[in-house]
Structure 1
Amino acid sequence: MEVAIKPVHALRGDVQVPGDKSISHRAVMLGALAEGETVIDNFLFGEDCLSTIRVVQSLGVNVHIEKDRVVVRGGGLNALREPDDVLDAGNSGTTMRLMAGILAGCPFFSVLTGDASLRRRPMQRVMQPLAAMGAGIMARSGNSYAPMAITGGDIRAITYKSPVASAQVKSAVLLAGLFADGPTTVIEPARTRDHTERLLSYFGARVEVKDKQISVWGRPNLPGRKVVVPGDISSAVFLLVAGAAMPGSDLLVRNVGINPTRAGALNVLIKMGAVLDIANERLVSGEPVADIRVLGGRLTGTQISGDIIPYLIDELPALAVAAAMAEGETVVRDAAELRYKETDRITAVVKLLGEMGADITEREDGFVIHGGRPLQGAECDSFGDHRMAMAAAVAGLKARGITRIKEAECVKISFPAFFDTLNSISVQ
């Protein structure tokens, strides 16, 4: 579908964003490996997370979907059964990579595939450590791309020094380590989002974290738990960027996850001059949560690089829009991982904002934006990428004229009600 975005004067209101996509995935997977009932409230009913549900159902797990929650009835680590058909992860890299770790520990044969976009994303980074743990695992193009065929079982614990800062690689190895005897350890080049470690601990697994070294002990007894999923900061940041860049805005986003390994975008926005008030901080199901209020004002350019990049990799399209609306230069470096997302987000961001009149230059590992130029409404390609569609919409709120976004339905992956939410808080 095509969506038209008209410019607005400000954003005002009190809203909540959908449940965190990363945590929703992991809650279903650990619920499937736990014994007994796991109830997941505020689950993200987006396309990616529904792919995870369908995959675990194909492995014999009872998953019941209610209006606003998911109930998973697991039978423990040894209860998964060989699927009758190929497992389809859809567009979800999290589903494919993390389930590969689980399937590596299961004593049967399985095949994981996905849509055309997912079949172009690199899988060797997950396959190498899983093969080192003893899994039989093969894929096309020299073991680089899905479909992946996995013969699991007889997994051994290892210490794996990851060459990439990837939460998905780390999580795949840790989940496979649940089926091994003794501790499985991942050493990261830089800390990445830690939802897997937190949720494993919450379910009762023994987990130790020492800076960039994470260990999990195998063969745990995992009882089912109630999990309340916080609002997804990767969705909230689009609203926060729009509010921060529009004088007169006053927007409250409630129940947002502020996990320090995900909150890098908040730090960058504050550095750019955004007026953010983070209040009502608390811990929910092992995750830090808060309410975030943003007041509109003036933004300035900044440098985004180094160790903070893994903490905001999914938020960079939104931050690029903030940079285009800011005064001065913003430089994004060390973000080559963006090229391996649902689309090449470096090229996509440069094309999108360039077509809207921004002064933006592509670099191999990021981009440079000279902000302050008036944005113009344009015909925008979403590239089938939910975050690019939302970035186009936020830019369109402050552009001159109408912005039209093609294939905008892809927002259903992470924020199905995104456009309705924007309409509800827009002041014309």
Structure 2
Amino acid sequence: MKAVTIKPWKLKGVVNLPPSKSISHRAIISASLSEGTSVIDNLILSKDMEATISAMRLMGSNIEIIKKGENDRIKLVIGGGYIKRGITHIDCIESGSTLRFLIPVSLLDKGQVTFHGRGKLVTRPLDSYYEIFHKTGIKYSLMDGGLPLTIDGQLESGTYELDGNISSQFVSGLMFSLPLLSGDSKIIIRGDLESKGYVDLTLDVLKGFGIRIANNGYKEFTIEGNQKYKPSNMEIEGDYSQAAFWLAAGVLGEGVESQGIREKTSQGDRAIVNIIEEMGGKLHVDGDSIKASPSSLNSIKVDVSQCPDLVPIIAVLGTFCEGVLEIGNGSRVRIKESDRLKAISTELNKLGADITETEDGLIVKGVKSLRGGEVDSWNDHRIVMALAIAATRASGEVTIRDSEAITKSYPGFWEDFKMLGGIADEWQLG
């Protein structure tokens, strides 16, 4: 197990953002389902990307990885169009997107498939799919209530109902597969759909590959059958989920400019721009970059139902604001890579923060400073990165245990952190 020790030092400079992990998953899957060759540019081989690439190869896609020699960026040349019969085992590592997107994709063809995972992914809920399996006669079995999950059957066109307050990944998973079936289908949302931005991302990527899905006010999605994915070339835009950490570092430090971002985007985590500005943070958008300048922050109330991945870094911003920041509608944050409400509040409180958990959120009282100490990542990449930004404003050294969790989404995080002036020493525990 690795740890990293961070010495307090405010960050300053320019960072080239990593590509959107959410768009990357969707592009790789769509290209693999296309009948022809696609080129997907500007990716990073994080653990989550490795999981999806490996899975699509097992399903019959020919994926060539071309290293570009700069910032660990790669290009994929993908020849797809065929779902392989007889696949037996797919290792999703710790990627919830890989698992939930590919369960319906694997059901495009008959045959038994077993999905494996590690860490918290083993027990992350899949009840929405189990409900579908029961109704459609798809056989499935679990190991002690979690992964490995073995399924045996074939997806059919029809009407599928999903709760709006569950992960949008179930909605997206069906959207990848239903257009390829022989009949028309509908996805009906019970209640209000949360994380609409992630569904928008799926619809945008699918449109780029020739797939048509009608969005009827996020209450119902109608899908024509017998569609075909068309090959496409795509360059992945910068990730607002990761930009959030550097924007926070800029307003809490000495100014950080994040490059490679698109102002007009379907990424739901673009909400971080509005949140920081509402808190009084100084942001300047210029083309494909956002400059965050040192700022005094005010307290606000934040509804995170549409941007749950932002909770850890919002908690850090609240720790250094004037007054009390409230985070609400975040109950789903408890079933991410960790219980992020408990994880971020527990670890920041170890450093002197004043955070109280509620059933679906956090109450964060601003403090003047944090102290040094030892904290744990909970094997969660977003907890690692949030604690790293908080550590830049501590009065002493902060050690983060299990720091390699960042390889799940952002393997170059520590290099970028140091490039901005951060002082971080990685070492091996034991």
Q: Label 1:384 to 1:340 Cα distance change in 2 as closer, same or farther (>3 A).
A: same
Within 2, Cα distance between the matches of 1:326 and 1:253? 26
Paired residue for 1:183, among 182, 185, 205? 185
Within 1, Cα distance between the matches of 2:79 and 2:89? 22
Q: Which residue of 1 aligns with 2:261?
A: 255
- Displacement of 1:354 after TM fit? 0.3
Q: Which residue of 2 aligns with 1:284?
A: none
Within 2, Cα distance between the matches of 1:250 and 1:160? 44
Instruction: Name the SS for the 2:12 alignment partner.
Output: strand
- Displacement of 1:427 after TM fit? 7.2
Q: Label 1:427 to 1:31 Cα distance change in 2 as closer, same or farther (>3 A).
A: closer
Q: Label 1:154 to 1:387 Cα distance change in 2 as closer, same or farther (>3 A).
A: closer
Within 1, Cα distance between the matches of 2:326 and 2:179? 41
Paired residue for 1:361, among 338, 344, 356? 356
1:8-27 deviation per Cα after TM superposition (whole angstroms, max 9, x unaligned): 13x33222121111111111
Within 2, Cα distance between the matches of 1:133 and 1:172? 16
- Displacement of 1:165 after TM fit? 4.3
Could you tell me which amino acid in structure 2 is paired with residue 54 of structure 1?
A: S
Q: Which residue of 2 aligns with 1:283?
A: none
Within 2, Cα distance between the matches of 1:170 and 1:265? 24
- Displacement of 1:395 after TM fit? 0.4
Q: Which residue of 2 aligns with 1:156?
A: 157
- Displacement of 1:159 after TM fit? 4.0
Computed over aligned residues only, the root mean square deviation of the Cα atoms, in angstroms, reads 1.9
Structure 2: gaps spanning 5 or more residues? 68-73, 424-430
**Structural mapping, 1:267-306, within 5 Å:** 267-280=274-287, 290-305=288-303
Whether 2:240 is the aligned partner of 1:240: answer: no
1:352-401 deviation per Cα after TM superposition (whole angstroms, max 9, x unaligned): 11001001111121111101331112111011110011011000011111
Residues 138 and 148, structure 1, Cα contact 8 Å, conserved in 2: yes
Q: Label 1:261 to 1:251 Cα distance change in 2 as closer, same or farther (>3 A).
A: closer
- Displacement of 1:235 after TM fit? 0.8
Residues 133 and 157, structure 1, Cα contact 8 Å, conserved in 2: no
Q: Which residue of 2 aligns with 1:287?
A: none
- Displacement of 1:226 after TM fit? 0.6
Q: Which residue of 2 aligns with 1:106?
A: 109
1:271-322 deviation per Cα after TM superposition (whole angstroms, max 9, x unaligned): 1111112232xxxxxxxxx4211111111111112xxx23321111011101
- Displacement of 1:59 after TM fit? 1.7
Whether 2:124 is the aligned partner of 1:121: answer: yes
Whether 2:331 is the aligned partner of 1:336: answer: yes
Residues 114 and 147, structure 1, Cα contact 8 Å, conserved in 2: yes
**Structural mapping, 1:136-215, within 5 Å:** 136-141=139-144, 145-180=146-181, 181-187=183-189, 189-191=192-194, 192=196, 193=198, 194-212=200-218, 213-215=220-222
**Structural mapping, 1:23-42, within 5 Å:** 23-42=23-42
Tell me which moved more, 418-427 or 158-167: 158-167
Q: Which residue of 1 aligns with 2:71?
A: none
Q: List, as ranges, runs of 4+ consecutive aligned residues in structure 1 with deviation greater than 6 Å.
A: none
Tell me which moved more, 38-47 or 120-129: 120-129
Instruction: Name the SS for the 2:261 alignment partner.
Output: strand
- Displacement of 1:116 after TM fit? 3.2
Instruction: Name the SS for the 2:180 alignment partner.
Output: coil
Within 1, Cα distance between the matches of 2:204 and 2:410? 24
Residues 173 and 186, structure 1, Cα contact 8 Å, conserved in 2: no
Tell me which moved more, 397-406 or 153-162: 153-162
Residues 108 and 155, structure 2, Cα contact 8 Å, conserved in 1: yes
**Bigger RCO of structures 1 and 2 (CA < 8 A, at least 6 apart):** 2
Percent identity between matched residues is 28
Whether 2:104 is the aligned partner of 1:71: answer: no
Whether 2:369 is the aligned partner of 1:374: answer: yes
Could you tell me which amino acid in structure 2 is paired with residue 236 of structure 1?
A: A
1:136-164 deviation per Cα after TM superposition (whole angstroms, max 9, x unaligned): 333345xx532221223251221424242
Structure 1: gaps spanning 5 or more residues? 281-289
Number of aligned residues: 409
Within 1, Cα distance between the matches of 2:101 and 2:300? 34
Q: Which residue of 2 aligns with 1:61?
A: 61
Within 2, Cα distance between the matches of 1:163 and 1:420? 38
Residues 135 and 150, structure 1, Cα contact 8 Å, conserved in 2: yes
Residues 15 and 252, structure 1, Cα contact 8 Å, conserved in 2: yes
Within 1, Cα distance between the matches of 2:388 and 2:256? 19
Normalising to structure 1: TM-score of the pair? 0.90
Within 2, Cα distance between the matches of 1:27 and 1:361? 39
Within 2, Cα distance between the matches of 1:3 and 1:161? 41
Whether 2:404 is the aligned partner of 1:401: answer: no
- Displacement of 1:227 after TM fit? 1.4
Residues 51 and 88, structure 1, Cα contact 8 Å, conserved in 2: yes
Q: Which residue of 1 aligns with 2:426?
A: none
